[in-house]
Structure 1
Amino acid sequence: MNRAETNTKISRWVKTVSVPPPTLQNNTADADRLIAILKRQLKADTIDIDPFVLKRLPNCLRNWDYHLRCVFFRDKKRWLLTGIKSIQNQEAPFAGLAVDLGTSRIALRLLNLATAEVIAESSFDNPQMVIGPDILARIHFTDQNGGLEKLNKLIKNGLNQMIEKLCLSCNLKPENVYLISLAGNTAMTHLFLGLNPHWMIREPYIPVVNRPGLVKAKDLGLRVNPGARVFIFPNIGSYFGGDLIAGILFSGMNKMKHTAILVDVGTNAEIVLGNKNWLIGCAGAAGPALEGGVSRMGMMAGPGIIDQIRIDPNTRDFTIHTIDNKLPKGICGSGVIDLAAHLFRSGMIDIRGKLIPDRCKDKIKNIAGNLHLVVVPAKKSSTGSDLTISQTDLDSLIRSKAAMYTILETITSTVGMSPGDLSTFFVAGTF
């Protein structure tokens, strides 16, 4: 192989290249020779090299006999070189990290950038929940002295701890992470960046920035590779964040011929309707009934959480399924929806969602003047206590369902459609 030519392309992120060694006839700088080769291979107008990579480049080129693997971030025709490795070093991959920065829960997925293989993934409760369970409470907290700094520190410390833990679980180091993509709602993005969200909730509801773009990880306080970059998904406005943009791109609804709908379920429901020709969005309060914590046994989705329930209409026996098949310790939003549907089908609640004691029989309890239905008896739960759903919980679910249905009816009727006209329905959220 000609040393001046590149090797076979590995992926869109990782390339293997051979750089011609310097001679008296070709005494251009190491970086210039590398850039010339990369421009030819990538058909790129501009290639930038991170300063940390530049510091390592001279010795690495000579120690590796001018063969190296490069990891890039691409922005249209501009490429940024963020890391290099010897082609002999196949043990530790170039890793990328995808972060879903949720209000209640944060999910991370570690990827091999050369193969697109998922290496590991995990999730954890948003540390900012100690300040407030919802975005509005946190935004108001930023008005206090040091409030914004505290929220910013909570999220960054939480991310750094989980990144380290996730890497250790697969024998990697945080230094192996070269690229990060991060998506969250507009407020969460602002709090992560340390930007004041004060004016987002005040007329005319303006965020500080809609397109944060590409940022150095070290400038954000993330302990990963010194050359790593973080791509932060853009917002559309105060109520439509990068998480919704990520959902649109992942679902591919922006490329579909037929009209589809995407619903991001949370305390606030965010909905996008459309196809490759047009998209329309709507946001509205759906209530917290699907986010855990409302019911005595309500929890966010995770191991041991009930996500499916079936009720025999004749015997009214419950068949419970939990995530990871662990002993039940709570129920998530999906489980609550399942439960309500089967309670109605089996005649244990009426059309208003009210419990019918005669049909529930020995499963019904009166606790502090409120009717409770025993879903899992104490002897079958991991908590050692009955897992119950109360009439108050069911009332909250009914209100959330009504709010969600109203949002769906509003957005579809705006374009002359009804929910029944939709053949593709995407749902996102931890519920």
Structure 2
Amino acid sequence: MKPIVCSVQVDAPAPGLHDNTADLDRLQQVLTQALDDGRSIGIPYPCMTAVARNFRAAKFAGWALLNNLEQGWELVDFFEESPPVIAAMALDLGTTHLEATLLNLHNGEILSQGNLENAQIAYGADILSRIHHATTKRRQQKPLAADFKDPGLDELQGVIITAINDLTILLAGQAEVSPKEIRALSVSGNTTMAHLFLGLDPYHICREPYIPLFNRAQSIRGEQLQLVISPMAPVWIMPSVGSYFGGDLISGILASGMAHSEETRMLIDVGTNAEVVLGNSEWLIACAGAAGPALEGGVAKMGMRAGPGAIEFVSIDPDTYELEYRTIGDVAPKGICGSGLIDLVAALYLTRMIDIRGKFRDPDTEQDPLRAAFMREHLVRRDDGLCFVLTGISATGLEAEVVLAQIDLDAMIRSKAAMYAILTTLMNQVGLEFSDLKEIVVAGAFGRHINPQNAMTLGMLPDLPISVYRAIGNSSLHGAEQVLLDDDARQECEKIVSSITYLELNVNQEFMIRFSGARFIPHTDPSLFPSIPQFSSMEE
């Protein structure tokens, strides 16, 4: 590994009357010999005094701490003994949540990990609301001065910096290190979040032709962003491809390993949007679409993100109609997350309580006695029609109800149709069938909790052997960890960026046609899902 910060042992000859080389020149000379890679070694002005004093105090032998930057080595500290830990933080800068790990760059060991809600939610739950807040005064300022910075942008940057600092202090405390001992930070997030983090104007991101201010950030230090980490810590921002293809997806490609694969693989990351990448070591094509909100809790009334109290698993026995569910953290249910919603709707379809259109069947017309009894217990009529009451019927009372209404079902059908349409449109662009895929990697909380079989039952994911699917968790965070640990990973990010073709779905007529065909369970074309039971909409 070639981490972003490393320590190098040196043993320099002591100065004397016959060797009057300056202390820092002496240190640079022996480091040049030790590293032997032809790269320059610079010493930032703020570090010169401390490095020189520490070098002399150690009698000219010890361990130099170096930032491994694209432009060369940067000497930032010196120790008499090898530091047991070189701490660095990887951050997934999500729209709704921040998740981070603290690593030891000596060996990749995870020292601590944690997460916080993104406090920018107070200014808008979605990216467009935050861009609007960050550009309110800017839109009124004409002509725009070169040094103008919108007060709204200042607010959003201040809020996210405070949140990152809070999370840094939390992780440092868990690892029993000082925040100032954190020597590097890598940040993986979508394009807008990267702009707001750096306090850079996001105005053009959401305006045709949708051009961001930057895709690749230059070297930044912790002190420049008022972070509580070491002032000289390099802050490495994952590069983006464009306004709607951010560094978080580059992280996913890196973490999945698909850019090294000779065989074609697919990466699916469902968050606020569904982002999909298809390809191998020779080519990559990607697209994004709005299939995520219903799965994140953005549409279903009782929907919520995957967290404590979210129902993540549901099953209904097709013979006995025994209902089971499980919450994350095994605590009282607060709502239902994407995996639980997929499980529930699949179970309702397989037990024929909803039809192929995703509509609740009338319990008064049910002929099967067991099913009729179950439906009378769980299907209730309210102002907005039939609803399925999952929890809170008797023991816990109405305040603990988790209810699936018809409007939620309709949103779920639209989301699953959009997902499948995204996948099929992308595959068709390169002339491949789903059976040609070596693997489908599913990332994020969606991938961690989802049951692929139930997603296939609904027609959300292609009907393939379960062994084809692999969940990798938070790929945005995993990619951020990799770039801290190895210079090769940072270089690979640049290679990935240059090799991606982006498919714009908003103007793709084929996508709209495929979306319409997928708005049934599992699909209007049963041959696409041969392993899934097919029921007529009128079948008892």
Structure 2 length-normalised TM: 0.73
Q: Deviations over 1:352-380 (max 9, x none)?
A: 22223534331123343343222233677
Contact persistence 1:304–1:324 (CA under 8 A): yes
| Pairing 1:282–2:270 present | no
1:3 is aligned to none
Verify the 8 A CA contact 1:160 1:223 in the aligned structure 2. yes
- The equivalences for 1:20-419 within 5 A come to 20=12, 21-44=14-37, 45-75=39-69, 78-87=72-81, 90=84, 93-145=85-137, 146-358=151-363, 359=371, 360-377=375-392, 385-419=400-434
1:12 is displaced (CA, Å) by 7.1
Q: Which has the higher contact order (CA 8 A, sep 6+)?
A: 2
CA distance in structure 2 between the partners assigned to 1:381 and 1:278 by the alignment: 54
Structure 2: where are the runs of 5+ without partners?
Answer: 138-150, 364-370, 447-540
Superposition CA RMSD, Å:
2.4
Listed one character per residue, the Cα deviations across residues 14-51 of structure 1 (whole Å, up to 9, x for unaligned) are: 22413313233333222222222322333331122333
- Cα 1:64–1:382 change in 2 (3 A) is farther
Q: Which runs of 4+ in 1 moved over 4 A?
A: 9-12, 378-384
C-alpha distance 77-150 of structure 1, shift in aligned 2 (>3 A) = closer
Structure 1 residues 17 and 382, CA gap change in structure 2 (3 angstroms): farther
2:5–2:184 Cα contact (<8 Å) kept: no
Which secondary structure does the structure 1 equivalent of 2:324 belong to?
Answer: strand
Give the SS at the match of 2:188. strand
Matches of 2:412 and 2:27 in 1, distance apart? 60
- 1:327 touches 1:382 (CA, 8 Å); kept in 2? no
In structure 2, the partner of 1:6 is none
Does the CA-based 8 Å contact 2:23-2:56 persist in structure 1?
Answer: no
What CA distance in whole angstroms lies between the structure 2 residues aligned with 1:378 and 1:19?
A: 74
In the TM superposition, what is the alpha-carbon distance from 1:418 to its structure 2 partner?
2.6
Cα distance, 1:213–1:426 mapped onto 2, change above 3 Å: farther
Q: Is the 8 A contact 1:106 1:124 kept in 2?
A: yes
Work out whether residues 372 and 390 of structure 1, in 8 Å CA contact, stay in contact via their aligned partners in 2. Answer: yes
Question: Per the alignment, in what secondary structure is the counterpart of residue 141 of structure 1?
Answer: helix
Q: Secondary structure at the match of 1:289?
A: helix
Return 5+ residue gaps in structure 1 as ranges: 1-8
The structural deviation recorded for 1:89 is: 5.2
Moved more, 371-380 or 396-405: 371-380
CA contact (8 A) 1:13 1:113 kept: yes
Mapped to 2, the partners of 1:224 and 1:286 lie a distance apart of 37
Residues 334 and 28 from structure 1, CA distance in 2 versus in 1: closer, same or farther, beyond 3 angstroms?
farther
Q: 1:10 to 1:286 in 2, by over 3 A?
A: closer
Q: Distance in 1 between matches of 2:15 and 2:361?
A: 85
Q: Say which is worse superposed, 284-293 or 392-401, in terms of deviation.
A: 284-293
Give the Å deviation of 1:117: 0.4
Contact kept? 1:300, 1:333, Cα under 8 Å? yes
Is this contact kept in 2: 1:329–1:381, CA < 8 A? no
Q: Deviations over 1:50-93 (max 9, x none)?
A: 33432311221233343433443324572233444441653xx2
Instruction: Write out per-residue CA displacement over residues 377-398 of structure 1, whole angstroms, 9 at most, x where no aligned residue.
Output: 3677799511222221121111
Q: Which has the higher helix share?
A: 2
Structure 1 residues 381 and 99 mapped into 2: Cα distance closer, same or farther (>3 Å)?
farther
Question: 117-126 or 67-76, which moves further after superposition?
Answer: 67-76
Compute the TM-score of the two structures, normalised by the length of structure 1.
0.90
Distance 2:337 2:249 in 1: 22
Change (3 A) 1:113 1:313: same
Q: Which is further off, 65-74 or 329-338?
A: 65-74
| Whole-Å separation in 1 of the counterparts to 2:388 and 2:192 | 37
Following the alignment from structure 1 to structure 2, what is the Cα–Cα distance between the partners of residues 368 and 173? 56
Counterpart of 1:5 in structure 2 is none
Check conservation: 2:270, 2:292, Cα contact below 8 A.
Answer: no
For the residues of structure 1 that align with 2:169 and 2:295, how far apart are their CA atoms?
Answer: 31
Higher strand share: 1
Q: Which amino acid aligns with 2:289?
A: G
> In the comparison of the two structures, how many residue pairs are matched?
421
Whether contact under 8 Å (2:10, 2:31) holds in the other structure is no
CA distance in 1, matches of 2:403, 2:165: 37
Distance 1:388 1:18, change over 3 A: same
Secondary structure in 2 matching 1:374: strand
Q: Say if 2:353 and 2:360, in contact at 8 Å, map to a contact too.
A: yes
Does the aligned pair in 2 maintain the 1:183–1:233 contact within 8 Å? yes
The separation in 1 between residues aligned to 2:350 and 2:184, in whole angstroms, is 49
Structure 2 residue identity aligned to 1:234: P
1:287 is displaced (CA, Å) by 4.9
Look up the equivalent residue of 1:180 and give its one-letter code. Answer: L
